[in-house]
Amino acid sequence: MAQGNAIAEHTISANGLTWFYRELQPIGDAPRLPVVLLHGLVSQSYSWRQVMPTLAQQGFRTIAPDWIGHGSSDKPDRRDFPYTPEALVAALGNFLDALELSQVHLVAQGFLGSVGVQYALQHPERVDRLAIINAPVGPGAKLPWKIRQMGLPLAGDMITQDPTLVDRTLEGAGPYQIADADLDVYRRPFLKTSSVGRALMTTVRAMNLEASSQAIAAALPTWDHPTLVLWGRSDPWLPVSLAEAAVQALPNGELQTLDEVGHYAQEDWAEKVAAALDNFLRQMAV
């Protein structure tokens, strides 16, 4: 990262919800579309911290929000926000509207990445290039027990109030340990308020992954935008066969797999993810 070009932290209100997001301004004056980076369940925008500088150096404005219910974004009560895929898709659109982003490149990772993919499929005029990283994009995708139990009655209430949930989930999804200083950032929201755990439990309960993944698979053949399916091969939850099937369905898709990388690819090996995204976006950048 160029000296003095630090990742900024902001909040913005969008249709009554406050989003927290990280942003890095582009280096240079290349007229390129912004890149929006979406994290997965139990994670945060912090996971993109080592990817954003690479993209900024190539002239991309990079924006990484915390999903509603995650990190430092609002965590409304389920009576006020249902945390369904439909509600999250609409909220993402409001976030982009608030930032006055009429068109972006979109990167969607993890189980919440399905929401980003659904947004792109429903709003093709607003997403130019799409990158999908270890996300449930086919009917064979299933929530692992480690995550499903977060939505169980009684058990989910206890599990999602335990800050060590972060360690177990992030480190259990790949081959690496995460530095304590980084885990501290991920744990912090859980230590501040119980609303984080309640929002996570509601999100898992409302996910309806089977219906969402089937809808995505049915719509992929109609999505003709350039699409990178980037997959960590060491993901214990989503097999590479899902990625292969998605690319076969896409009219303009390509698959790149990453050895020794798990579900949270940008946390496991940011350099590999950054290089792949950089190459994909620069080859086809506006």
Domain enclosing residue 228, as ranges:
8-284
In a domain, 192, yes or no: yes
State residue 163's pLDDT score.
87
Q: Which two tokens stand for residue 31?
A: 């007229």
pTM of the model: 0.95
- Rounded CA-CA distance 35/47 in Å is 15
In a domain, 3, yes or no: no
State residue 284's pLDDT score.
57
In a domain, 1, yes or no: no
pLDDT, tens digit (0-9, with 9 covering 90-100), for 253-280: 999 999 999 999 999 999 999 999 999 9
In a domain, 264, yes or no: yes
Q: How many domains does the chain have?
A: 1
In a domain, 2, yes or no: no
pLDDT, tens digit (0-9, with 9 covering 90-100), for 70-115: 999 999 999 999 999 999 999 999 999 999 999 999 999 999 999 9
- Rounded CA-CA distance 229/147 in Å is 23
Say which DSSP state 79 is in: T
State residue 102's pLDDT score.
97
CATH of the domain at 199: 3.40.50.1820
By the 10 Å C-beta count (0-12 exposed, 13-18 middle, 19+ buried), 238 is classed as buried
Nearest to 172 by CA among 109, 235, 238: 235
Q: How many CB atoms lie within 10 A of CB 251?
A: 12
H-only helix segments in 123-179: 145-148, 155-159, 164-172
Say which DSSP state 69 is in: T
State residue 26's pLDDT score.
92
Those residues of the chain that have pLDDT short of 70 are 1-4, 30, 284-286
Pairing of strands 127-133, 8-14: unpaired
Residue 75's contacts (CB-CB under 8 Å, 6 or more residues apart) are 68, 69, 193, 195, 196, 198, 199
